[in-house]
Amino acid sequence: MQIDKEVVLITGASSGMGRATAIYLADRGYVVYAGSRTPQKIFDIQSDNILPIKLDVTDTHSLKTAISNMPKIDILINNAGYGLVSTVEELDENEMKAQFDVNVFGVLRVCKAVIPIMRMQQSGTIINISSFLGKIGLPLLTMYNSSKYAVEGITDSLRYELRDFGIRVHSIMPGFFDTEFARSNLVANLDTFDKNSPYAKIVSSLAPNIVEQINNGNDVQEMAGLIYDIIRDDNFPARTTAGEKASKFIPMRRELSDEDFERRVREYYSL
């Protein structure tokens, strides 16, 4: 590997946005360390510029081992995550902790491990893959929503902390994209989806709607291209949206009062 090439670390790179971005950046000359709990799923795209590594964002030892084998890190893309579908009343405490362990503490663990490297280099770019649901709420997705709200807060604070070291921090708030997310990265609480749940009505109307929107969402190449644009532009905004749903709801959220926005969401999703 040529050390003069820029080195990228992507978490959650075995499918969806992470996999597409790994291919996109590798094709443009970056060396990509594609992290996953199941790196064998990335072996089919392995090349001189795509290096699959075992990386579990909930395991500090796994993280340290993965990073110790990298010559440097110029760009970090915090992409690993999943969505828990559950009401708060029926939420299991272990499910609650697991959601934040991956989506929030996972981001913090990886940043904590990578920042010293970037600080010594006096340069670096961190891109946190958030969600438009990090700015708006939806029923059944309280834990996912709140985890992405947290990612937005992490991004805001890190921008202040790391600015003097030449490290840029950004977030992308995607809407619904056609990835494996709905098929592999949505975890359903069994009580919530039981036909006798007091929330059966909202589950039966909203859950299929959300899954359909994800499966018919934007192409992941849009995300890969956007990440590339952020990497190349030192003056890129702190956060940006991607996809049709995000570009619709985020500006609306800024413009309307809480009550008016809630009314719009209720109408849109027939809540």
At 225-260, the pLDDT tens digits run: 999 999 999 999 999 999 888 999 999 999 999 999
Taking residue 148's Cβ as centre, other Cβ atoms within 10 Å add up to: 26
Q: Do the domain assignments include residue 138?
A: yes
At 156, which CATH number? 3.40.50.720
Residue 247, in any domain of the structure? yes
Residue 1, domain member (yes or no): no
CB 194 within 8 Å of CB 85? no
Each residue of 116-161: pLDDT tens digit? 999 999 999 999 999 999 999 999 999 999 999 999 999 999 999 9
Residue at 2 is within a domain: no
Residue whose pair of structure tokens reads 């990440």 in the numeric block: 227
Residue 69 structural domain? 7-269
Residue 56 has pLDDT above 80, yes or no: yes
Residue 190 belongs to a domain: yes
What average pLDDT score do residues 162-185 get? 85
Report percent pLDDT > 90 for the chain. Answer: 85
Token pair for residue 29?
């000359």
Q: What pLDDT is stored for residue 3 in this prediction?
A: 61
Q: Which residues are catalytic?
A: 14, 130, 144, 148
For residue 109, is it within any domain?
Answer: yes
Please state the domain count of the chain: 1
How many Å apart are CA 248 and CA 244, to the nearest integer?
Answer: 6
The angle formed by the CA atoms of residues 255, 260 and 264, to the nearest 5 degrees, is 95
Q: Closest Cα to residue 155, out of 228, 83, 236?
A: 236
Going by C-alpha positions, the residue among 129, 158, 157, 134 that lies closest to residue 144 is: 134
Is residue 90 one of the residues assigned to a domain?
yes
User: Are 245 and 213 in contact, with CB atoms under 8 Å apart?
Assistant: yes
Q: Does any domain span residue 130?
A: yes
> Which of helix, strand or coil describes residue 261?
helix
Helices assigned H by DSSP within 15-104:
16-27, 60-68, 93-103
Q: Give the model confidence (pLDDT) of 176-234 as tens digits.
A: 887 765 566 689 999 999 999 999 999 999 998 888 888 777 888 999 999 999 999 99
